[in-house]
């Protein structure tokens, strides 16, 4: 292994590593040598201090996103599942390509890639088919080819099904939380399910904080009547204000957004009325809350593209939104939007503008890498245990259950006790682990 450093954080022993992986996996196989352009695959190995030198089974964490880097734990409980996982496993936390310390991609990077067609083609190399090959290469070259357990949160569940489609021989068992995609994949189908959920979530927000109906409307009206600039120079539009709902499928987002609007108006005691202006504190909070991670929005719809498409993605979320006038910025009460990209983002957000031309091409492309093999999933022999959140705002529970019904050796736990981020507490992973353990699904892992 290419060890960079080793150290302790409270309650955890940590090793940092990095290895090269091919930028383009075409014509290459994980575990073998390669030539040509490479990227850095950074990963951390985390254990409980008392297990630092023990030969424990391996668990690799598949981060949500897309475009998300691995957690940086403050202690075992700062990301709830880790405290339970390090009791049983040596935990591997890889930064997916293009994120964190794995050859990070941002607006400066994409500008260096040259003309838009080249940029769009390169972005396709940051999707599941490449990510999973990076992980399999890591397993084969750095961990002696030992089978490992995968734990996928959100988009990590999409990666799980890609792994089980492409390299099931590398996986001893899989856990997922809130992240089973519908196979066959389809972005528009997903948004047709999730936009109504976004409307219901907004209704629940206003039901909990009824005074915010007037307060949110006052802010939106102000934005419609004058130009307001965020501290980073971006124009704050009503449409961007609506994206504050992107976190409504997690806790405690209702409270966080409520308190943001509590300080939104700077006149007198902040009660909606005449001669309003938006406070600097509110504008700063909106900028932080709505600013984009570099690859998160550009890849958002591309993660649903599986091989040759019958029709281009074509800004699927915008297509669905256009059929729902309740989401118009002039409608009242103002509805918030969720995890969805819209064309205006790449015109108005400084961090996303460098991606704009490439995005227009990606939204019209029909050729992507194969990320799922439905036949292989139907014959799957790797134990798969999934947490399905019944009210999930991002990954529709009905679509998740339909996919699981067609995946061999899959088991699921449906619950409405948690939101999409339930794994980050201290219950979900422990429940999944105990279910698999009691079923005997982990027997071979501990024998090896």
Q: What is the pLDDT of residue 269?
A: 86
Give tens-digit pLDDT for 77-89.
999 999 999 999 9
**What average pLDDT does range 338-356 have in this prediction?**
95
d(CA 282, CA 333): 20
CB-based contact 313:186 (threshold 8 Å):
no
Residues 437 and 375 in one domain: yes
Provide the whole-model pTM: 0.96
197 with 178, same domain: the answer is no
Is 245 found in the same domain as 149? no
Position 1 scores a pLDDT of 56
| pLDDT tens digit sequence for 405-424 | 999 999 999 999 999 999 99
Q: What percent of the chain has pLDDT over 90?
A: 94
The CA-based angle 404-126-336, given to 5 degrees, is 65
Tell how strand 38-47 and strand 12-22 pair up.
Answer: antiparallel
Q: Are residues 103 and 138 in the same domain?
A: yes
- At residue 25 the predicted structure's pLDDT band, cuts being 50, 70 and 90, is very high
Residue ranges making up the domain that contains 11: 3-185+371-447
Percent of the chain with pLDDT over 70: 99
| Pair (122, 207) in one structural domain | no
Contact 386, 401 (CB under 8 A): no
Among 362, 397, 427, give the residue marking a domain's end. Answer: 362
In this prediction, residues 298-308 reach a mean pLDDT of: 96
Q: What is the pLDDT of residue 447?
A: 66
Same domain? For 248 and 117 the reply is: no
115 and 202 in a single domain? The answer is: no
- In angstroms, rounded to a whole number, what is the distance separating the alpha carbons of residues 84 and 149? 14
Q: What is the CA radius of gyration of the chain?
A: 22
74's CB contacts (< 8 A; 6+ apart) are 9, 10
- Beta strand 410-415 with 384-389: parallel, antiparallel or unpaired? parallel
Cis peptide, bond prior to residue 92, ω within 30 of zero: no
Q: Which of 308, 340, 362 is the last residue of a domain?
A: 362
The last residue of one of the domains, among 362, 397, 432, is 362
Residues 352 and 393 placed together within one structural domain of the fold: no
Residues 6 or more apart whose Cβ sits within 8 Å of residue 203: none
Q: For 350-363, write each residue's pLDDT tens digit.
A: 999 999 999 999 99
Domain count for the chain:
2
Q: Taking the CA of residue 36 as centre, how many other CA atoms within 13 Å lie in the half-sphere pointing to its CB?
A: 9
The string of pLDDT tens digits covering residues 137-174 is 999 999 999 999 999 999 999 999 999 999 999 999 99
Mean pLDDT, residues 367-394:
97
| Spatial contact of 248 and 336, defined as CB atoms under 8 Å apart | yes
Residues 219 and 347 in one domain: yes
Distance separating alpha carbons of residues 115 and 286, to the nearest angstrom: 32
Cβ atoms of 165 and 181 within 8 Å: the answer is no
HSE at residue 302, side-chain half, CA atoms within 13 A, is 29
Whether 177 and 195 share a structural domain: no
Residues 126, 259 within the same domain = no
Which two three-digit tokens encode residue 189? 């189908």
- What's the pLDDT score for residue 292? 75
The span from the CA of 156 to the CA of 164, in Å, is 12
Same domain, 165 and 199: no
What are the structure tokens assigned to 228, written together? 């307001």
Q: How far apart are CA 311 and CA 364, in angstroms?
A: 8
154, 396 Cβ separation under 8 angstroms = no
Residues in contact with 372: Cβ distance below 8 Å, sequence separation at least 6, in sequence order:
161, 162, 165, 181, 183, 184, 185, 306
* Tens-digit pLDDT profile for residues 275-295: 789 999 999 999 999 987 889
Label residue 181 by pLDDT band (50, 70, 90).
very high
CATH code, 49: 3.40.50.1820
pLDDT digits (tens, 9 = 90+) for 267-277: 888 888 877 89
């Amino acid at each position: 292994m290419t060890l960079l450093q080793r150290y302790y954080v409270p309650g955890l022993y940590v090793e940092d590593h990095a290895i090269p992986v091919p930028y383009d996996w075409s014509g290459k196989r994980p575990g073998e040598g390669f030539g040509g352009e490479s990227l850095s695959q950074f990963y951390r190995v985390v254990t409980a201090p008392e297990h630092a030198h023990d030969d424990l089974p391996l668990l690799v964490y598949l981060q949500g996103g897309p475009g998300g880097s691995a957690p940086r734990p403050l202690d075992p409980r700062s990301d709830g599942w880790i405290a339970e996982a390090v009791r049983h496993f040596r935990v591997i936390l890889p930064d997916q390509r293009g994120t964190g310390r794995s050859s990070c991609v941002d607006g400066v990077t994409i500008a260096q890639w040259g003309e838009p067609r080249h940029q769009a083609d390169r972005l396709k190399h940051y999707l599941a088919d490449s990510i999973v090959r990076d992980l399999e290469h890591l397993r084969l070259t750095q961990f002696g080819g030992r089978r490992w357990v995968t734990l996928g949160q959100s988009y990590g569940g999409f990666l799980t099904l890609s792994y089980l489609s492409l390299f099931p021989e590398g996986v001893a068992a899989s856990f997922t939380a809130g992240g089973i995609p519908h196979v066959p994949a389809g972005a528009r189908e997903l948004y047709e399910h999730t936009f109504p959920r976004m409307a219901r979530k907004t209704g629940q927000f206003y039901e909990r904080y009824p005074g915010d109906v007037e307060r949110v409307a006052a802010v939106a009206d102000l934005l419609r009547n004058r130009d307001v600039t965020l501290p980073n120079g971006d124009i704050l539009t009503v449409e961007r204000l609506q994206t504050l709902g992107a976190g409504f499928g997690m806790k405690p987002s209702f409270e966080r957004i409520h308190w943001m609007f509590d300080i939104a108006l700077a006149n007198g005691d902040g009660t909606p009325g005449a001669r309003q202006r938006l406070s600097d504190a509110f504008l700063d909070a909106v900028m932080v809350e709505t600013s984009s991670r570099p690859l998160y929005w550009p890849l958002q719809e591309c993660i649903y593209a599986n091989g040759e498409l019958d029709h281009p993605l074509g800004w699927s979320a915008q297509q669905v939104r256009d059929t729902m006038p309740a989401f118009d910025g002039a409608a009242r009460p103002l509805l918030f939007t969720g995890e969805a990209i819209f064309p205006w983002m790449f015109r108005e957000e400084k961090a996303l503008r460098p991606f704009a031309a490439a995005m227009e091409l990606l939204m019209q492309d029909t050729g992507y890498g194969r990320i799922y093999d439905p036949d292989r999933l139907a014959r799957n022999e790797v134990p798969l245990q999934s947490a399905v959140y019944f009210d999930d705002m991002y990954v529709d529970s009905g679509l998740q259950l339909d996919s699981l019904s067609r995946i061999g050796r899959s088991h699921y736990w449906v619950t409405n006790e948690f939101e999409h981020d339930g794994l980050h507490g201290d219950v979900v992973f422990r429940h999944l682990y105990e279910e698999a353990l009691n079923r005997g699904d982990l027997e071979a892992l501990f024998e090896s």
